[in-house]
Amino acid sequence: MGLFEAEMSGDAFQLLGMSEMGMLPAIFASRSKHGTPTISILLSATGVIFLSWMSFQEILEFLNFLYSIGMLLEFAAFIKLRIKKPDLHRPYKVPFQTFGAIMLCVPPALLLVLVMCLASLRTFFASGAVIIVGLLLYRILVLVKDRNLMQFCSEQPAVESHSVVSQQLQEVADEAAIGLLSDLSAKTEEESSEIRFEGVLKVD
Q: What is the mean pLDDT of residues 23-27?
A: 89
Q: What is the pLDDT of residue 170?
A: 52
Strongest mean pLDDT among 27-31, 33-37, 39-43, 67-71: 67-71
**Residues 200, 131: Cα–Cα separation, whole Å:** 83
Mean per-residue pLDDT, 110-115: 94
pLDDT at 9 over 80: yes
Q: Following DSSP, what letter does each residue of 143-176 receive, concatenated?
A: HHHHTT-S-B--HHHHHHHHHHHHHHHHHHHHHH
Residue 188: per-residue pLDDT: 54
Q: Is the pTM for the entire model greater than 0.85?
A: no
Q: What is the pLDDT of residues 60-70, one digit of tens each?
A: 888 899 999 99
